[in-house]
Structure 1
Amino acid sequence: MHWFNFFRPKPHCLKSFGRSINADIAKDEEELFTKAYEAFEKKEIIDAYKFFFNSLMNYKNGLPNKNIILTQGKESLKFIIYQGTARINGFTTNKRLYAEVTMVKAKNANVALKRYVLERNYQFTYVNYCSDGNYIKLKLNLDNITMTPQKAFYPLRELALNADYDKEHMLSEFEQNELEDIDHIQKLDDAELHVKYKYLHIWINELHRKIQTLPAEDSIGMQSFLYLNFLFKIDYLLVPKCKMYQNMTKKLQDYFGEDEILPEVKNAELAKYILSLEKLSFEEFSKNFYLAKYTFSQIEKSSYDEFVNFVEDSLVKLRWYKNNRHPQIIPTIYSYIALYALYNYGLNPAARKLLHLYTAVIYSDFFTDLGCSGYYDTQKNKFLKNEIITQIEDIVSLYKHRYKLLEAFGDDLDFSSLNDFSNSYFSALKNLNFHEA
């Protein structure tokens, strides 16, 4: 039986984009984290964990996302944490914290998979694989004697992120068609899948056309921007999972990690991979998507200064292409700045929302077809100016309590053209003040 037969129908919900949690953190998250720290110091362990887990809960439209479920016992606290394909089941007493994820049936694990989990044990800091005879599990066992919120956070995050990653890896690499404990995952409806499949091919065709417009010589850098922007666009807007996500991640890691390989060779590898995406049937494509809840971000937190430095460096490259009469690559570089940042930087929620808004302007047709708000009429080459300004004001207002010096910038944007808009948008982002009160 294929694992997608376990999916339940998807309820009406907001669409998710990128690899972030796609939900809002608790407004009193910092206060709850502080209360957890104080309770741990007082050795009020169960209360401390309640504060701690409540600080990790997230919300959609002000309502709990139910990414964590707590059950109070007489001398223990049971919990369930959702992270993609992984359902973490655990409990804590005054003495210990225990959590586990059921991965696959032990009898279904072939030799290659067993070797894989043994090798993985050497890569973990806090967790380890084990078998109870019936199932292979990833587990965590901690002593609560000197516990703090930080000492609980990082081990639980390691458990959640690696369990989710390995479940997808087992599916794509070891032919584990029957993963365990995945009934919490929801299938995307066919209408959404068809929109995503359509735009995969629209963007591939656009990519081919743009590659053909490049000059015969000195176009390696422009090719790189086009290929990489395409992959980051697929990752953030389509949000593939499973084999498609893991293969794409590997291609991006190889591109940025292999310094000794020539750029033209790297570009050829990306082109070859994109050709394999073009050949995917709708059925194969559909196997790489599902809807799930997430508690831990897989991207490490970044300072806003890191993002600003990246924007400034990228704009220097953009100006070079502009001054050297390569206008066709300019929109791609603007897009690349936003999508690369969303892929690589663990930015604060306000900054992520502002970058997301930018993608909803430049990829307005996709968002509209998906049933979301787009902010640019491509037929009339006209911005939905008032809606963009209102969205910026709403985002700033939502986080003004935390960032007192954050100011809306919609009235300062240049709506003359998409390139002028992009330039003014990133100029504004560079000057935002995210210093906390």
Structure 2
Amino acid sequence: MSWLNFFQTQPSCFKSFGRGINAKLANNEEELFNKSYEFFEKKEILNAYKYFFDSLINYTNEHSNNNITYKRDDKTFKFMIYQGNAKIHGFSTKEKLYAEVTMVKKQNANVALKRYILERNYQFTYVNYCSDEQYIKLKLTLDNITMTPQKVFYPLRELALNADYDKEHMLSEFGQMELEDISHLQKVQNTELKVKYEFLHKWIDELNHMIQRLPSDDSLGMQSFLYLNLLFRIDYLIVPKYKIYQNLTKKLQEYFSEQETLPEQKNAEIANYILTLEKLNFEEFSSNFYESKYTFSQIEKSTFEEFIHFIETTLVQLRWYKNNRHVQIIPTIYSYIALYSLYNYGLNPAIRKLLHLYLVVINSDYFQALQCPIYFENNNNKFFKSDIIFQIKEIVLEYKHQYKSLKAFGDELDFSSMNDFSNSYFSILKTLDFHEA
């Protein structure tokens, strides 16, 4: 069994985009996983954990990112796992596995935080909050008697994802809370933050300009595409953390889950939130960023059929706008397809890389400002056709061993205009063959 579908694409300029893993697993990840299963079956527990953790180590340019480190002796296997804010310390004996994340100092927990922690304990499947004399911790205990790789993967994933999320939530929602055990976090360079801050305002200005130019009637759906596309764009391309991420995620969840709220009200709430982003000064904005290592993806695995269905239903809406001569919204809807898919679907890494490539093409000014390779020149409306074709071939070649029927399609793309390129790109994407060998 392979866990590759939990992991995200690696951008060509080695900056992080989107949520989760911007790296690759070992080429022999499946073999390592199977070895782990064999050793668990033979009750060689410590050897089994070695192979299991080796299968989760991710790599950049064939070098380990050290997202997992471990050491062992005859009786104990000690490990450390990194997941954003969370540093998971753990150990396993032949009998049990124990892992924990130190969250905050116990003395700093106010009544609101204690209530939040109690509520969270009811939401977990495998983990729970506890405290010692100094710290509040999130912990996991597992019995190794009938252990398998699957039985340890999901509990560790729950621990890592929820510890990372809750640390950000605690800092964002409970005032002057100081997080513990975060010395592994790295600052984002000021030059990169300035680019992100500049483009946040550039995109908001473009949005406001487009909203003002929409027709007075029959524009509600177009407003929704514009507002949602901006939030997804901020999330995937700018990748804020802490309060911006928490509030942005909340707005998206509310938009798609509150069925009784009128679309006009939903759009107005997003517009108000965007206004708060626009008012952030650079110092406030910059406090919402850090770099870290990740081991588990937030997004649950999705089927290729779900992805295809979403493309097809959204293209039906796009054609309606096109037939009714609302051509100004067409580029936004194509962008929305890519960004929504990356946000909501746990797609295989080949599709994620192809979607990322598309976003690089249509956001060339942003990637150029970040000193990343670009494939379109805005000033001249010029595609770097041969480079795009080459990148698609490279992505297909990388995953050809897994998807034997996957074929490069760069030569089939229509480079006549950006809309033609986008239409051909998604029309071909949904026909690709991802049946595993």
Provide the TM-score with structure 2 as the length reference.
0.96
Q: Deviations over 1:39-88 (max 9, x none)?
A: 11111111111111111111111111110001112211100000000000
* Aligned equivalent of 1:7: none
1:114 Cα deviation (Å)? Answer: 1.4
SS of 2:124 mapped into structure 1: coil
Map 1:312-327 → 2, pairs under 5 A: 312-327=312-327
- What residue in structure 1 maps to residue 373 of structure 2? 373
Q: What is the rounded CA distance, in whole Å, between the counterparts of 1:324 and 1:73 in structure 2?
A: 70
User: Over residues 351-390 of structure 1, what are the superposed CA-to-partner deviations in whole Å (9 max), with x where a residue is unaligned?
Assistant: 1000000000000000010111111100010011111111
Q: What amino acid is aligned across from residue 403 of structure 1 in structure 2? A: Y
Q: How far 1:21 sits from its partner (Å)?
A: 0.7
Choose between structure 1 and 2 for higher RCO, CA contacts under 8 A separated by at least 6 residues.
2
Match of 1:62 in 2: 62
SS at match of 1:210: helix
1:84-103 equivalences under 5 Å are: 84-103=84-103
* Structure 2: distance between partners of 1:337 and 1:217: 24
Q: Is contact 2:108–2:177 with CA below 8 Å preserved after alignment?
A: no
Where structure 1 has 5 or more consecutive residues not aligned to the other structure, the ranges are: 1-12
1:345 match: 345
Question: How far is 1:176 from its partner?
Answer: 4.1
Partner residue, 2:157: 157
Using the alignment, how far apart are the partners of 1:249 and 1:352 within structure 2?
20
Distance 2:262 2:413 in 1: 39
Task: State the alpha-carbon separation in 2 of the partners of residues 209 and 436 from structure 1.
Answer: 46
Counterparts of 1:140 and 1:247, CA distance in 2: 28
Aligned partner of 2:29 in structure 1 is: 29
Mapping for residues 284-433 of structure 1, pairs under 5 Å: 284-433=284-433
Amino acid at match of 1:414: D
Specify the code of the residue in structure 2 equivalent to 1:343. Y
Q: Which residue of 1 aligns with 2:43?
A: 43
Provide the C-alpha distance between the structure 2 equivalents of 1:108 and 1:74, rounded to a whole number of angstroms.
39
Quote the residue 1:9 is aligned against: none
What residue in structure 1 maps to residue 8 of structure 2?
none
- Residue deviations 1:64-116 (CA, integer Å, cap 9, x gap): 11100011122111000000000000001100000000001111111211121
Query: 2: distance between equivalents of 1:168 and 1:105?
Result: 15
Give the superposed CA RMSD.
0.8
Code of the aligned partner of 1:101: V
Q: Which residue in 1 is equivalent to 2:16?
A: 16
Cα distance in 1, alignment partners of residues 346 and 374 from structure 2: 25
Partner of 2:175: 175
Given that 1:129 and 1:137 are in contact with CA atoms closer than 8 Å, whether structure 2 keeps it comes out as yes
- Distance across 1 between alignment mates of 2:57 and 2:160: 14
Matched, 1:267 2:289: no
1:179-228 per-residue CA deviation (whole Å, 9 max, x = no partner) reads 11001010001000000000000000000011111100010000000000
Deviation at 1:173, TM superposition (A): 0.5
Structure 2 gaps of 5+ residues are 1-12
CA distance in 2, matches of 1:22, 1:301: 16
8 Å Cα contact 1:88/1:99 also seen in 2: yes
What does residue range 113-132 of structure 1 map to in structure 2 within 5 Å? Answer: 113-132=113-132
User: Residue in 1 aligned with 2:194?
Assistant: 194
Query: Are 2:97 and 2:143, in contact at CA under 8 Å, matched by a contact in 1?
Result: yes
Q: Normalized against structure 1, the TM-score is what? A: 0.96
Q: Percent of pairs identical after alignment?
A: 71
Conservation of the 8 A alpha-carbon contact between 1:170 and 1:176? no
For residues 308 and 276 of structure 2, the distance between their equivalents in structure 1, rounded to whole angstroms, comes to 35
Matched residues in 2 for 1:414 and 1:119: separation? 53
Q: Say whether the 8 Å CA contact 2:82–2:88 is kept in structure 1.
A: yes
